[in-house]
Structure 1
Amino acid sequence: MKYLSNESISRLDNLHIKAKKVVEGFMVGLHKSPFHGFSVEFSDHRAYGTGDELKHIDWKLWAKTDRFFIKRYEEETNLKAFILVDQSRSMEYTSQTTTKMEYSKILAASLSYLLIKNQDAVGMYAFNNQIRKSIAAKSTNTHLSILLGEMEKMQPKSTTNIADVLHQCAEKTNKKGLIILISDLMDDQQKIMMGLKHFLHKGHEVIVFHVMDPKEIDFDFKERIKFIDLETKQTITTDPRYIRKHYREKIKKIRKFYTASCGKYKIDYIPLSTKEPVGIALKEYLFKRKKVS
């Protein structure tokens, strides 16, 4: 599939237009891919299966597609999702045109757009070292505009405390649903996992999008450079050639930890680089939904 580039998306006027273009571009590619059976238009249906009554078949849809679909009941379609977006200072980093914060906002907005067009309810928690914004889950187009408007305002600031925030959000989110965390996960790994498991104990499904800048992954710096911690403001000057191997091994170890730990508890862990089109993240999200539907 060919996806819209992050550079072309970033040039668009506002987050609503960006989300719309990402989703529309993704859907066009989707119909040319192995996902050709998926469509927002048919999101309130499911494939006919053994045991289903013939009277529930949507014959108009059969005439369009030559396939049998059953109209879903309301309780089958109304997914409630909460998107947790990290807006700590470390999300400000970029080595290219799109910061981790901007990438995360476009991803969160695109997921919200896709969910609401799919007649599902979406809410949001924006956080750094505490919850900064909380929006209840609703499924209307008016709510989508409000949600994206708040996402547009998000700016990276302050330190992070992902683990504590996850516990706070879990306590506030009672109805079983889908939890989507978008973060660079720059906090204690074991504590983050404890926070994620809190959602599982309350019956939620969980997806984690681990967003990193390509330089944070490959450490491809060429010359002696001063590194500044965006959250603590601590600095260190070094020649990257001397620490590149150790750094890459550490990042690989972190990703391996999350892959193994999330896999153990059936949490979907999706590592992302901000150089990758947001459409790739939507594809991974769709894989998740098809897997559990």
Structure 2
Amino acid sequence: MTTAESYLKPEVIRQISRLDLRAQFVVKGFLQGLHASPYHGFSVEFSEHRRYEQGDDPKDIDWLVYAKTDRYYIKKFEAETNITGYLAMDLSRSMAYTYRQEMTKFDYAISLAAALCYLMVHQQDPVGLVTFDTKIRASLPPKSKRKQLGDVLSLLANLKPTGETDIAHSLSQLAAMLKHRSVVMIFSDLLADPDEVMRAIYQLRHRNHDVILFHVLDEAEVTFPFDGMVELEDPETKERMKVDASNYRKDYQKEIAAFRDKYRQDCFQAGVDYVELDTSMQFDKALTEYLISRQSRF
């Protein structure tokens, strides 16, 4: 039986924990006004000014105020708040598919979510969880205590992807649910109309959330390794179709490449991180490479 611990092996923890989550999840909006303080986190609320005193960091001088008053003033800040993360997990039946890999798409997505949850809790940043198929099915509110890691993993380890899906509706629900600026990490095979999904993602972006889209496909869905006459079945509608796989392969690979490229381009336009994955990739290596590439961009 699958256990929560199997999704976060010690060697993966060691690899992932070398990364500083704050460095990875930094976004330009959070960087504005970032100053040294005894608090952790990014979001800083400007409150008032005070006169510059000897020993203050000159970098903190508000030069706009100086231009108006010819006096040096320092920006004074209230407490900073930690970054809040939400893991959004697709429960649709198609996520249970695997052809010859050890992990289903769902297992793979859970492993990614477990690693990210570990990182956030390790950094004392609150992280929550929502699961969805045609609508949001369950949620855990964000917490930063160590117990949250166990709660998230226990819930994920006991889930089974069995439903049909309406990704766009579920993400719209999530956008309406979130009250504060957050990092929303979506794990899905995205087997839906990209235009509808992106409309919902734009709602999240419009509310100023940082969105990371982990697009998880099975290796076979990317490469189409079948030969001869095969019968394909839609895992959600159960609709079946017979095709000559050998003749169909090129057309299929062209279509799946265009499908992923559509998401990639639309996400770029929306300011969303699009992370293209398949189950043949080592999830910890893929996640580490993504986090490092994200860090280098900011």
Give TM-score scaled by structure 1 length. Answer: 0.78
Q: What are the equivalent positions in structure 2 for 1:218-257 lying under 5 Å apart?
A: 218-257=223-262
Deviation at 1:164, TM superposition (A): 0.4
Alpha carbons of structure 1 residues 51 and 162: separation in structure 2 relative to 1, 3 Å? closer
Check whether the contact 1:262–1:269 (CA below 8 A) recurs between aligned residues: yes
Q: Distance in 2 between matches of 1:89 and 1:81?
A: 25
2:174 matches 1:169:
yes
Runs of 4+ in structure 1 deviating by more than 3 angstroms, as ranges, are: 38-43, 50-56, 289-292
> Helix, strand or coil: the match of 2:191?
coil
2:222 matches 1:217:
yes
Alpha carbons of structure 1 residues 51 and 249: separation in structure 2 relative to 1, 3 Å? closer
Check whether the contact 1:180–1:208 (CA below 8 A) recurs between aligned residues: yes
> Helix, strand or coil: the match of 1:233?
coil
Alpha carbons of structure 1 residues 145 and 256: separation in structure 2 relative to 1, 3 Å? same
Deviation at 1:99, TM superposition (A): 0.4
Count how many residue pairs are aligned between Structure 1 and Structure 2: 252
| Partner residue, 2:51 | none
Check whether the contact 1:23–1:114 (CA below 8 A) recurs between aligned residues: no
Match of 2:290 among 284, 288, 293: 284
Q: What are the equivalent positions in structure 2 for 1:260-271 lying under 5 Å apart?
A: 260-271=265-276
Check whether the contact 2:87–2:184 (CA below 8 A) recurs between aligned residues: yes
Alpha carbons of structure 1 residues 237 and 143: separation in structure 2 relative to 1, 3 Å? same
2:90 matches 1:86:
yes
| Partner residue, 2:152 | 147
Deviation at 1:74, TM superposition (A): 5.9
> Helix, strand or coil: the match of 1:237?
strand
Check whether the contact 1:80–1:177 (CA below 8 A) recurs between aligned residues: yes
Q: Distance in 2 between matches of 1:144 and 1:14?
A: 13
* Residue-by-residue CA offset, 1:52-104 (whole Å, 9 max, x unaligned): 69789xxxxxxxxxxxxxxxx9626x110001110100001101211001111
Alpha carbons of structure 1 residues 235 and 17: separation in structure 2 relative to 1, 3 Å? closer
Extract unaligned runs of 5+ from structure 2: 25-33, 38-54, 58-77
Extract unaligned runs of 5+ from structure 1: 1-10, 31-37, 44-49, 57-72
Identity within the alignment, %:
29
Q: Distance in 2 between matches of 1:98 and 1:250?
A: 24
Alpha carbons of structure 1 residues 156 and 266: separation in structure 2 relative to 1, 3 Å? same
Deviation at 1:15, TM superposition (A): 2.2
Q: Distance in 2 between matches of 1:250 and 1:178?
A: 31
Name the aligned partner's letter for residue 102 of structure 1.
Answer: D
* Residue-by-residue CA offset, 1:231-284 (whole Å, 9 max, x unaligned): 001111222012111111111111111111110111000110111111112431
* Residue-by-residue CA offset, 1:14-39 (whole Å, 9 max, x unaligned): 223532536424248x5xxxxxxx45
Q: Give 1 or 2 for the bigger CA radius of gyration.
A: 2
Check whether the contact 2:7–2:110 (CA below 8 A) recurs between aligned residues: no
Alpha carbons of structure 1 residues 42 and 209: separation in structure 2 relative to 1, 3 Å? closer
Name the aligned partner's letter for residue 157 of structure 1.
Answer: T
Match of 2:5 among 16, 33, 40: 16
Match of 1:26 among 4, 9, 15: 15
Q: Distance in 1 between matches of 2:110 and 2:218?
A: 15
Check whether the contact 2:87–2:129 (CA below 8 A) recurs between aligned residues: yes
Q: Which range moved further: 141-150 or 163-172?
A: 141-150
Check whether the contact 2:228–2:245 (CA below 8 A) recurs between aligned residues: yes
Q: Distance in 2 between matches of 1:51 and 1:104?
A: 35
> Helix, strand or coil: the match of 1:186?
coil
Q: Which range moved further: 279-288 or 263-272?
A: 279-288
Give TM-score scaled by structure 2 length. Answer: 0.77
Q: Distance in 1 between matches of 2:96 and 2:23?
A: 38
> Helix, strand or coil: the match of 2:257?
helix
Q: Distance in 2 between matches of 1:240 and 1:19?
A: 37
